[in-house]
Amino acid sequence: MPSQFSNAKHLAVGLLAAGVALFLLGGFAAAQEQEAEPKPPEGQTHPLLEPHDVLNEFGVISSSGHDDGGWGLEPELRVPEQYQYRRRDQQLKEVDLTGNQLPPILTEMRVLSKEVAPGDEVRAIARVVSPYNEAQSFVSLFYNRELGRAATMYINFQPHESDDTLFLGRGKLSRFAAPGRYVVGTTIIADKVGDRKAYWADFHKAMQEEDGSPVGFQVTESDSVDITAPTLKSVSVETERVRAGGGLIKYSVVAEDDVSGATEAETIWVSPSGYHQIRSTMVMVGGQPGLFKGVLQIPQWYEGGEWQLMRITLKDNATNIRYYFNRTEPMMEAATVQVDQEKEMVDQVPAKILAAQFTKKQAKLGERVGLTVLAEDNLSGVFSIEGYVRSPNGADALKVKLKSMTPEAGEFVDVNRPSKLPEPNIWTGNFTVTDTMEWGEWELVRLGVSDEARNFYTYYEDRDAEIDGITVNFYNEDTETAEEGGKEGAR
Amino acid sequence: MTAKTHSRTLDRRDFFKLGAAASAGAVLSTRNAAGSPIFEAGAGIPQGGMVLPANPGFKTKHLVTVILGNGARKIDVIDNPEHSPFQTKMAAEGTVFTEDYGETANLHGYMYSEVLSGVDAPAQRPRYPTWSEYIRKKAGGTATDYWTLQGASYYRAWTWDVKHFSQHPEYGVKHGSTSLTMNRIFYPEQKLTGAQLVDLNVEKGLGHTAKERKQVEEFVDSVLASKSYVPPSTREPVINREIPYGDAQVLTLVPQILKEFKPKSITAQILALDDAHADFGFWDYNTDYWEYIKHIKTTDELIGNLWRQIQADAYLRDTTALVIRPECGRDDEVNIYGQLGHSPGNYYAHYVWFMALGPDFKKGHTVTERVQRRDVVPTLTYLMSGENAEFATGHVRTQMFKDEYNLPKYILPPTAEVKEPAVDWEKIVEERRTAEKVKEFARSTVGYGD
């Protein structure tokens, strides 16, 4: 496909890339001064130097995890990440696509709070460049360098009000945090259309101190360190027998935590066949530290028989978490309840999609398009429908959440047309393609449907005839007419 | 769940403090600067709370380790003859652990490093030595005695071609392994020579001699010329995308390297199982649980082929071990989008299987006792060098070794709720002395000994 990138776009990418590349590749240049090899073969421009390839400090090709996300490359060379997973002969380059798929690029991260005490706030700043699709807020994960994932904290970065590239980070250190050096591990930064890139302190100089170590901060000593999750002391189930959709199952758990105290407990119950699972949040009993009580009801469409307490999750005030499973924890073996249910009331058949359509065949960029779906369910009723609409080459996709045309309780109902009845089987949703996404023929590629008994099924465009060939053409009115839209070729 | 404890125990906090000390180089004071044990001769090899016999005399000379990277559930593989007919059959020839526990179930870069190093450190590049480094340092050998293969360098935020050596100052690249990345080297459009490819892809600090480097270059040339990197036809065809294809290439090249170089260790990094939920953010990918199952079937057959080739070689059959472990498991349920994630709190995400086949392992043996992800490093290090992995916090899985080796009972290493039993060295040395005295007495008085 011919390149339609304007000179201005080339120039913008080029200028930005030059700055970023100078910053990021400085270290590599220094490394290569010492190690003259390897050189590209004579007469070639470096055939192995793929768009995502750079030389690492050991003087060999390393991966895209180490580079700048492709900003340093011309559109004719850059392969957006998702196409790097195609076979070589099927990979698309930036130049083959409309829209813009460049992810935001992190150019700087600094922790301003060099030494903090447990319970203090940690402040940091970051610089992120993303001129086409503004970068969104992001979170960076910090770890205690020696304790690893046993001691973590998060810093939330929010965009500055007036400085387009500046992000201000804040995080609250637990007052039970272990002392030592905390360093950044990872962060994933996305823009508003979903192009994203993961950054790692192992590879990205922007996240490293001058000596190459990850940026971080020092936590001072404390007398109340807690990196140990609560332990389970006992489990008891008060209810022996219930009817599905009827009585309540009452149960309790006792947890012990030596420092910060147990604060949360959650369970999962599983049906005899394993087909159904139910999550149940427990509540701590006031004045009795470590005692949690739980109540749940088996939904009316679920199977009967002996339900088991399958998992207990315990969390303490320092956010340490521990899981207990009935397969490996003897204390949970007897935690069961007998559930009575008629066979004909058990719903294990997902809802069905009968038909789906877009409300338009063509739409301008920025124009809303509706997705309407007709669905039915044999017993419990349709609960949710969600679709994925994918761009022509799969560079972008949008999730479309549909809503039933039956008004929910309390929702305003326009009675202007009394003849119009609520339609529980008609579901609708909308989506919009912006000019930074690919334009052309977008296709409904998946449609997930679930019923009130949480049976679900996913329809695929290449497997299920019900959603095969449902497309809408998004065209750019600045460069083409409605009639031209959807045609292959120059855009 | 508690483990048997001795008079003094370390809790998790103490243990991590020791871990911190270890990182500074003060490793439980069990080895001197030369790497030799500093406790009294005959006391045994320490690994955390366990003491193992020195010089166990294992028969294994070559180790193939397949890490089913990015996660697979036991119900989709070792408990599923329909999806995995080869591995379920192979189980009868070795030992299978059914409750192999990992404390975390997300962030592949870290879990993979944990499997490789036996330490939970939050870095994609292992900060502590990998089993290749331990074995190479302790059992010796050259750079071509150690290999690591992976299909791709990078996949969905995770970097794979930097895991064959750690950043640890006492180990590092000089103890690393010859690492080949399939999609950088072996593809039909490849125009470069073996020499150029090795130059561009294999670290220079690994310590290859000129002769070894030449041998690797010639091997690469030969694989390219013969196209022996193309995976064989399988009942479930290899998915024609870069990552699953690369996995198939890895398993296709392992037996070729085994025969050509007779290395001490080959580590095969499988990566594409994350296609079970890989279309999150990568819309071009049409992947999900069913793609994952397809890859499991293909991979199963290729692992079966690999084991068959080892068994068909009279020398390798008696000297080669094959070990398989997923990096982590995957969720209990497929979600509404047809994706199978790997989230903390899902039983099948935390608990996986581990299979070991080889001349030193029990056959048809199933271990239902809980073991730990961090055990892999000390277990493989002990198998191949008879020594310990001093920085790893796991223990040696003695349950899988044949009874003739008289190994001590396995102790679950410290995890969130299990305390580390302290080793009473004085008692152990005293017991050994007493045993020696008894033997000596038997020899001198009755005229027989062991």
Nearest chain B residue (CA) to A180: B20
Q: Cα distance from B170 to chain A (closest Cα, Å)?
A: 17
Q: Report the distance separating Cα B14 and Cα A483, nearest Å.
A: 72
Q: Report the distance separating Cα A92 and Cα A102, nearest Å.
A: 14
Nearest chain B residue (CA) to A350: B336
Q: How much is the pLDDT for A436? A: 87
Nearest to A458 among B202, B338, B416 (CB): B338
Q: Report the distance separating Cα B262 and Cα B284, nearest Å.
A: 41
Q: How much is the pLDDT for B30? A: 46
CB pairs under 8 A between A and B: 192
Query: Are residues A397 and B283, on separate chains, in Cβ contact within 8 Å?
Result: yes
Nearest to B192 among A47, A196, A386 (CB): A47
Nearest chain A residue (CA) to B415: A228
Across A94-121, average pLDDT: 92
Query: For an interface test with A, which of B79, B153, B342 has the most A Cβ atoms less than 10 Å from its Cβ?
Result: B153
Q: Interhelix angle for B108-117 vs B376-385, to 10°?
A: 30
Q: What is the mean pLDDT of chain A?
A: 84
What residues in B contact A446, CB-CB < 8 Å? 337-338
Q: How much is the pLDDT for B432? A: 65
Query: For an interface test with B, which of A35, A63, A187, A451 has the most B Cβ atoms less than 10 Å from its Cβ?
Result: A63
What residues in A contact B157, CB-CB < 8 Å? 65, 186, 188, 198
- CB atoms inside a 10 Å sphere around CB A90: 12
Nearest chain B residue (CA) to A267: B345
What region does B96 belong to: left with phi over 0, alpha with psi -120 to 50, or beta?
A: beta
Query: Are residues A394 and B107, on separate chains, in Cβ contact within 8 Å?
Result: no
Query: Are residues B242 and A63, on separate chains, in Cβ contact within 8 Å?
Result: no
Nearest chain A residue (CA) to B187: A88
Nearest chain B residue (CA) to A460: B286
> pLDDT-based confidence at A490, cuts 50/70/90?
very low
Selection from A3, A208, A380, A56 nearest residue B173 by Cα = A56
Selection from A33, A28, A35, A31 nearest residue A53 by Cα = A28
Query: Are residues A203 and B191, on separate chains, in Cβ contact within 8 Å?
Result: no
Nearest to A87 among B154, B240, B337 (CB): B240
Pick A152 or B37 by higher pLDDT. A152
Q: Report the distance separating Cα B400 and Cα B285, nearest Å.
A: 40
Question: A458: Cβ–Cβ under 8 A, 6 or more apart, which residues?
Answer: A446, A447, A448, A449, B288, B336, B337, B338
Condensed to tens digits (0 to 9), the pLDDT of residues A349-380 reads: 999 999 999 999 999 999 999 999 999 999 99
The C-alpha angle with vertex B143 and arms to B137 and B145, in degrees rounded to 5, equals 85
Q: How much is the pLDDT for A384? A: 95
Q: Cα distance from A11 to chain B (closest Cα, Å)?
A: 28
Q: Report the distance separating Cα A83 and Cα A92, nearest Å.
A: 6
Q: Cα distance from A177 to chain B (closest Cα, Å)?
A: 12
> pLDDT-based confidence at A481, cuts 50/70/90?
low
* pLDDT by 10s per residue, chain B, length 450: 333 223 333 343 443 433 433 333 333 334 444 444 445 555 789 998 899 999 899 999 999 999 999 999 999 999 999 999 999 999 999 999 999 999 999 889 899 999 999 998 788 889 999 999 999 999 999 999 999 999 998 888 888 888 999 989 999 999 999 999 999 999 999 999 999 999 989 998 999 999 999 999 999 999 999 999 999 999 999 999 999 999 999 999 999 999 999 999 999 999 999 999 876 566 666 678 989 999 999 999 999 999 999 999 999 999 999 999 999 999 998 887 788 999 999 999 999 999 999 999 999 999 999 999 999 999 999 999 999 999 999 999 999 999 999 999 999 998 766 655 556 666 666 766 777 777 676 666 554 433
Q: How much is the pLDDT for B157? A: 81
Q: How much is the pLDDT for A197? A: 86
Selection from A487, A488, A450, A447 nearest residue A470 by Cα = A447
Q: How much is the pLDDT for A417? A: 73
Q: Cα distance from B408 to chain A (closest Cα, Å)?
A: 23
- CB atoms inside a 10 Å sphere around CB B7: 8
Query: Are residues B157 and A198, on separate chains, in Cβ contact within 8 Å?
Result: yes
What residues in A contact B283, CB-CB < 8 Å? 82, 388, 390-391, 394-397
Query: For an interface test with B, which of A50, A54, A60 has the most B Cβ atoms less than 10 Å from its Cβ?
Result: A60
Q: Does A42 touch chain B (CB under 8 A)?
A: no
Query: Strand pairing partners for A267?
Result: A280, A312
Q: Report the distance separating Cα A389 and Cα A441, nearest Å.
A: 10
Burial A145-177 (b: 16+ CB within 10 A, else e): bbbbbbbbbebebebeeeeebbbbbebebbbbb
What residues in A contact B120, CB-CB < 8 Å? 148-150
Helix boundaries (H) for A35-162: 81-84
Contact (Cβ atoms closer than 8 angstroms) between residue B306 and residue B48: no
Nearest to B122 among A82, A148, A198 (CB): A148
Q: Does A52 touch chain B (CB under 8 A)?
A: yes
Nearest to A47 among B109, B122, B191 (CB): B191
Query: Strand pairing partners for A446?
Result: A388, A460
The C-alpha angle with vertex B344 and arms to B343 and B349, in degrees rounded to 5, equals 70
Q: Interhelix angle for B210-226 vs B194-201, to 10°?
A: 120
Q: Report the distance separating Cα A331 and Cα A355, nearest Å.
A: 50
Indicate the DSSP class of residue B443.
H
Q: What is the DSSP string of A216-274?
A: EEEE---S-------EEEEEEE---EEETTSSPEEEEEEEE-SSS-EEEEEEEEE-TTS
Indicate the DSSP class of residue B237.
P
Selection from B155, B173, B162, B165 nearest residue A56 by Cα = B162
Q: How much is the pLDDT for A2? A: 36
The helix/strand count (H/E) of chain A reads as 2, 31
| Range with the poorest average pLDDT among A54-58, A315-319, B422-426 | B422-426
Q: Report the distance separating Cα A461 and Cα A201, nearest Å.
A: 40
Q: How much is the pLDDT for B155? A: 84
What residues in A contact B172, CB-CB < 8 Å? none
What residues in A contact B158, CB-CB < 8 Å? 65
Contact (Cβ atoms closer than 8 angstroms) between residue B101 and residue B135: no
B3 three-class SS: coil
Across A13-18, average pLDDT: 47
First to last CA, chain B: 39
- CB atoms inside a 10 Å sphere around CB B189: 7
Contact (Cβ atoms closer than 8 angstroms) between residue B330 and residue B276: yes
Torsions phi, psi for B263 (to 5 deg): -75, 165
Q: Report the distance separating Cα B165 and Cα A145, nearest Å.
A: 19
In this predicted structure, the answer to whether residue A64 has a pLDDT above a threshold of 90 is no
What residues in A contact B203, CB-CB < 8 Å? 58-60
Q: Report the distance separating Cα A323 and Cα B105, nearest Å.
A: 12
Contact (Cβ atoms closer than 8 angstroms) between residue B120 and residue B114: yes
Strands (E), B93-206: 95-101, 146-150, 154-155, 158-159, 178-181
Q: How much is the pLDDT for B357? A: 98
B295 three-class SS: helix
Q: Cα distance from A14 to chain B (closest Cα, Å)?
A: 25
Q: Report the distance separating Cα B43 and Cα B431, nearest Å.
A: 9
In this predicted structure, the answer to whether residue A425 has a pLDDT above a threshold of 60 is yes
Is the ipTM here above 0.85? Answer: no
Q: How much is the pLDDT for B117? A: 96
